[in-house]
Every structure is written in C-alpha cells, then in structure tokens.
Amino acid sequence: MARLFLGSSLKKLADRAPALRQVLWAIEALLIAIPLGLAWLLPPGMASRAGARLLRLIGPHLDKTRKFRRNLTLAFPDRSPAEIEALIRDNWSNVGATLAEFPHLPAMAHGRHTGRLEIINNRSSEVFREGGKPAIFVGAHLSNWEIPAVAVVQLGIPVSGIYTPLQNPWLNRMLHRVRTDIGCGLLLREGGIRAVMQELGKGRSIGLLVDQRVDSGEPVPFFGHDMLTSTTPATLALRYDCDLIPMRVERTAAARFRVTFYPPIPVPAEAPGKHHKAVQMTIVINKLFEEWIREQPYEWLCSKRRWAKDATPG
C-alpha cells in the first residue's frame, strides 16, 4: 500500500529508517483516511464517481504507474503505447472507485444498499444447499475485488478470507475493521494450514484472490508467460474434498456490480497425484482469469509485478 501512493524509493528509504517509516505511515494513513471519511458521507454511487475522477487525475503521476504500464504491455502486446496509457488512466479510475466504495461495503453486505449487487449463481455446488459442505472460492483483482466476499455473505455462507496484512498498522486496522463489519472471517496468509483446517472443520468456506505472482508458487501460463502462481486453492480443495469455485465480479455502474459464481473446477482424473492435479486445476483458473481480464482490462488491478523481470512482450 505504501508503494502505491508514496513510491518505492520512499518505501526503501523508510525500511532503512524506522523513525521515518512511522512518519510515512502516518502520512499515508491520513492520505487515505480523510478521503474515505468523506466517501462514507456520500451516497455510494456519488462516492464511487468522485473517487474514480480523483485517481484518474492523480494516479498516472504516481510511481506505481510503471508497474501498470509493464504488466499491461506484457499482457496486451498488440496494443499501441497510446492505448496502454488510456488503459492506465482507466485502471487508476477503478482503483479510485474501489477505495471510495470501501466504507459502504458493510452496508452492501447486510442489504442496506439494495439493488447494487446482482448475483448470478447456478447453485451447482453443495455449498449453496442448507447444511452443505464448505467450498474454496477464488477470484481475481478485478472491478472491486472486495465484492466477492460481500456476495458470499449475502448468500448466508460463512466464509473466511485469507489475506496478507498491510505493513502500515493503521491502515491494516482500518482494513480489518471493514472486512470484519462485512461479516467475513479473516485468516493470515502466514497462519498455516492448521487455521484453514479449523475453519473448514467449523463449516466455514475459504476465499482467496490468486491472480498475483507468488514467489513460492508454480510456473503457470498467464497471458503467454509463465507466472509463479499459488496452487493453494486447488490443493485445499483436493485435500479436504471441497468444491473449487471461481467468482467473477463486474462493475455495471458506479457502486453497482454483477457477481457470477462459476461451476466448480473439475478434478482432472488423468493427472498423476494431487500435486499435478492441483497444477492442472490452477491452469484452468488462470485461463478463466485471463478471459475475464481481456474482457475488462480497464478494471484489472495490476500494480504489482506479475512476471519474471526478463519477460518481454511477444
């Protein structure tokens, strides 16, 4: 988060100077808390539009834009530099809208903002039946990436999301409070398999966003390049006999969304062993994510490096 707004150079300097880091954390918290407070005072649609306009102006001048540009160029090598720059502005608009919508998520989850969430669900999994088994839900950083949790909660499914805490403790507390108010349990990514086992044992489903590069992941194709990808969702589904359900969120208007629950990813019978099955299932997930991103690249949060540093468009 610090790198998103303050730049990687300041972030590196802060890592070497704890006192400066505290100051930068305080500045960053104010830079985000004040606009979020104003957004909370506005109706959701108005807040979303205001946030989109603000970040569309400011975002392209921030240090993180370099990551947007590289990722989009690698993913869409057929697009001209002008088209990539237009996409970057749209991406920043989506970031602004998402941040401004954040204070309104608990109200959306508990039905106080009616008509803002359209849910498409074929109910092909046991998780949607009363007393059914928990599932593993996976999504990507598209549109408002917090909305899938809102949709699962609206359906009355107990769910816990696996997340990485923000380095800034003040922002992390803000994030934790809103997600808790949504009704979603939270599991630290570093908490290990025991915490996940306990949640599944209680009948709670697990949710993850897995379209980012993970150093400990497996090389899986993504937009024509191998990306180190987490196989954790597929591994969990196989180990605990859970359905692995992709979820897609699309922005239909300001602070209005469509959430689609896809059929569970099938377990490949021909793959030898659980590891190879997990990799094959992860390949299917990445293909789905790629399709969704191609359809709405302007709403893809790609502010972190996705591929190897030596990857080139091709």
pLDDT tens, 194-222?
888 889 989 999 999 999 999 989 999 99
Which pLDDT value is given to residue 1?
A: 47
- Pair of tokens at residue 43: 């109706």
DSSP 8-state code for residue 142: B
Average pLDDT over residues 15-23: 72
- Pair of tokens at residue 179: 């997600």
- Kindly report the number of other CB atoms within 10 A of residue 292's CB atom: 22
Partners of 247 in the beta sheet? Answer: 261
Backbone angles phi, psi at 34, to 5 degrees: -65, -50
Average pLDDT over residues 248-272: 94
| Least confident residue range of 7-21, 54-68, 285-299 | 7-21
What is the C-alpha to C-alpha distance for residues 155 and 126, in angstroms, rounded to an integer?
Answer: 13
256-261 and 243-253: which strand pairing? antiparallel
Q: What is the pTM of this model?
A: 0.90
3-class DSSP assignment, residue 223: coil
- Asked if 35 and 51 count as a contact pair (C-beta separation under 8 A), the reply is yes
Which is higher by pLDDT, 7 or 149?
A: 149
What is the C-alpha to C-alpha distance for residues 45 and 180, in angstroms, rounded to an integer?
Answer: 23
- Pair of tokens at residue 187: 């599991």
- Kindly report the number of other CB atoms within 10 A of residue 267's CB atom: 17
| Least confident residue range of 55-69, 108-122, 136-150, 241-255 | 108-122
Which pLDDT value is given to residue 6?
A: 53
Partners of 135 in the beta sheet? Answer: 243
Which is higher by pLDDT, 225 or 272?
A: 225
